[in-house]
Structure 1
Amino acid sequence: MDIERNVPLQTYNTFGIAARALQLVRLRSEDDLHQLLAHAGHAAQPKFVLGGGSNVVITGDIRPMTLKVEIPGKRLVAETDRHWIVEAGAGEVWHDLVAWTLAQGWPGLENLALVPGTVGAAPVQNIGAYGVELQDRFHELDAIDLRNGQTFTLNAAQCGFGYRDSVFKHPPGDARDHGLAGCAVIVRVRFALPKQWQPELDYLDLQRKQAETGVARPTAQQVFDWVCAIRRAKLPDPAVIGNAGSFFKNPTCTEAQVRDIIAREPKLVHYPMPDGSIKLAAGWLIDACGWKGKAVGKAAVYDKQALVLVNKGGATGGEVMTLAKSIQTSVYERFGIRLEPEPVVV
């Protein structure tokens, strides 16, 4: 285990923001982390966990010790009558895992194709796309407590999954609050992939693909291909244009709030939710405020999808956040809706 100094992070965050980690440790195995925590001086230092860097906005050099999670591995660990239980190391690229499971004949993750990031980051965010969330396929995970070095396992209920949310996004609190932000590193994740698989096609863009192709009963591979095509048409490739994917969460509000907005904005894009709330399309709200294509310095709103902020080349984290806050203010002043960013700001 080596500690690297002053490591450039531009290639380690999908926004492509230039910054440095003053100290960086690459975790390629669980033992690497145990060794680090066994050293009293290292164990006491503040730490920042970095996976694929796809859900982070870096606003300056990172002073806490950066733990770069690179733990590999993909395998089938068990079978039940209903599921294949597949395990992956936290450092595996998420999209590669999705493609690999399909190649093995284990469907279920295809709607989450091309979601950027690593396997270990997926439960933190409870990633979701095209009608499927990680929690729908989650079995359990193993993590290491940074406070005492102990390995522990969490099931779905213990992860406290919500919309782009989990216990890993909340700080520790009193006895009722089991937040683990900054306190744990996920090392392995296991998924329960259904043997009685049915395609998830509730999302409008997938229904359009189905109509275009005339395929009544698509295979998991066909759904995967459709999702990849949809994402590539709508969203910029981080390897070409720096970005962190969808920058804001789709907000939810009450039926009364929606009626009030529709009275002024009849074209409001909204979706009823099972709990009676109504989800609004954040991209539509931003576009309606005229932000598509506009920039602050080298940070801009993507001209094909207003929900995505991009780095036009040389953008700083400060410029990204100035743009984001300007958008939030604009949407609130027009609609009375507060947009919440998805990425972590460091």
Structure 2
Amino acid sequence: MTQKNVSLSRLNTFNLPGTAERYLALTDLRQLEGKPFLKAPELILGGGSNILLLDHVPGLTVHVCLGGIKLLSEANPADPKADKIIRVGAGVDWNQFVRYTLDQGWYGFENLILIPGTVGAAPVQNIGAYGAEVAERIEAVHVWEFGVGARILSPDECEFGYRDSRFKREPGRFLITAVDLRLNGRHELKTGYGAIQSELARLNVEDPTPNDVALAVTNIRRSKLPDWKFLGNSGSFFKNPVVPISDFQRLRAEYDQIPSYPIDETQVKLPAGWLIDQAGLKGARSGPVGTYDKQALVMVNHGGATGREILTFSEHVKAEVLAKFGVTLEREVRLIGE
């Protein structure tokens, strides 16, 4: 049943004020078969962790609350280390899902633990952290295409890129209802990031298991990222910029300590947090808005901020980084209510 004038302040991790003109909690796929879903709603809402709510949202807001985790197949049921394919409802909390897989002995997402949001939002952003991306383990994405109906998209059809996908580039076309994911029972750990190696060493772990990696990532994230329930934020506000090798060489000549992650022979990824920090903006504040004092990449609401205040401050951050380094930052968060 659709409700009118519903507050969204508790449904976004920035804890920003905002109201949906009409609101529907989507709990059953049969709800999609009605007339309202011949066209896209104004807002499709998951965990509210990747949006910047600017003001009142006109039209219909659909809150995806589809649950369920189902084992679809096993490559070899007699082998606990064989690959498994599971189907997860789009409304399932991502972090709870990752912890569930670890409890089951299904591995592959330990590097992506503690990322806020829902499973359905993960393919949109192609969430990633510490050398892993969700796209690496997606077998299929179940969607409702507005004006068409239910469809199943292959990974190629999703057109995944770095923090990018077809869903992000074609807003208003699809609503994700479930995701099929491949996990396994054997260890294929990604511990190449220095932060993970340092934390494992601090924990005196020499031969890590997936649970050890998950603990290390959890500790790292908790040391750098505030809990949105107490300090509103959306995690990483900006993407890590990817620049041509010539731009990186120019920057390295002036800043020999600049961290970098090669993409290929022509491109290099730079940590946006480092750029913001070096621009003197780590922990900077303007009224109720600022960057987090432990991680410059995170914008925070100290209490009482509006979405437009956060947007204005983020534009100031972008301008300062561009002036100092000649690098343009791009937002990860979506602007809602413009």
TM-score (structure 1 length as normaliser): 0.92
Q: Where in structure 2 are the equivalents of 1:1-346 lying within 5 Å?
A: 2-35=1-34, 38=35, 43=38, 46-81=41-76, 82-148=82-148, 150-171=149-170, 181-346=171-336
1:221 is displaced (CA, Å) by: 1.3
Deviations 1:100-143 (A, max 9, x none): 11111111111110000000000000000111100111111100
Q: Which residue of structure 2 aligns with residue 175 of structure 1?
A: none
Does the CA-based 8 Å contact 1:161-1:167 persist in structure 2?
yes
Q: What amino acid maps onto 2:291 in structure 1? A: V
2:23 match: secondary structure = strand
Deviations 1:24-46 (A, max 9, x none): 111001111223xx35xx64574
Does the CA-based 8 Å contact 1:296-1:320 persist in structure 2?
no
C-alpha distance 98-45 of structure 1, shift in aligned 2 (>3 A): closer
Q: What amino acid maps onto 1:29 in structure 2? A: D
> Separation in 2 of the partners of 1:63 and 1:275?
46
Coordinate RMSD, CA, aligned: 1.4
> Separation in 2 of the partners of 1:144 and 1:28?
14
> Separation in 2 of the partners of 1:151 and 1:27?
15
1:328 is displaced (CA, Å) by: 0.7
1:85 is displaced (CA, Å) by: 0.4
Does the CA-based 8 Å contact 1:107-1:194 persist in structure 2?
yes
1:63 match: secondary structure = strand
> Separation in 1 of the partners of 2:272 and 2:195?
17
Does the CA-based 8 Å contact 1:140-1:189 persist in structure 2?
yes
> Separation in 1 of the partners of 2:40 and 2:106?
41
Deviations 1:66-88 (A, max 9, x none): 01000010121111255100111
> Separation in 2 of the partners of 1:320 and 1:312?
11
Please, which moves more after superposition, 203-212 or 93-102? 203-212
Does the CA-based 8 Å contact 1:112-1:132 persist in structure 2?
yes
Does the CA-based 8 Å contact 2:200-2:213 persist in structure 1?
no
1:206 is displaced (CA, Å) by: 0.8
> Separation in 2 of the partners of 1:202 and 1:45?
41
C-alpha distance 88-45 of structure 1, shift in aligned 2 (>3 A): closer
Gaps of 5+ in 1: 172-180
> Separation in 1 of the partners of 2:204 and 2:292?
32
Please, which moves more after superposition, 237-246 or 264-273? 264-273
Q: What amino acid maps onto 1:152 in structure 2? A: R
2:295 match: secondary structure = coil
1:231 match: secondary structure = helix
Does the CA-based 8 Å contact 2:90-2:121 persist in structure 1?
yes
> Separation in 2 of the partners of 1:305 and 1:246?
9
> Separation in 2 of the partners of 1:241 and 1:5?
28
Does the CA-based 8 Å contact 1:58-1:345 persist in structure 2?
yes
> Separation in 1 of the partners of 2:39 and 2:254?
55
1:306 match: secondary structure = strand
Deviations 1:228-279 (A, max 9, x none): 1111011101111000000000001122111211222222221222354111
Q: What amino acid maps onto 1:140 in structure 2? A: A
Does the CA-based 8 Å contact 1:254-1:278 persist in structure 2?
yes
> Separation in 2 of the partners of 1:45 and 1:227?
37
> Separation in 2 of the partners of 1:15 and 1:134?
23
Runs (4 or more) in structure 1 with deviation over 4 Å come to: none
Does the CA-based 8 Å contact 1:296-1:322 persist in structure 2?
no
Gaps of 5+ in 2: 77-81
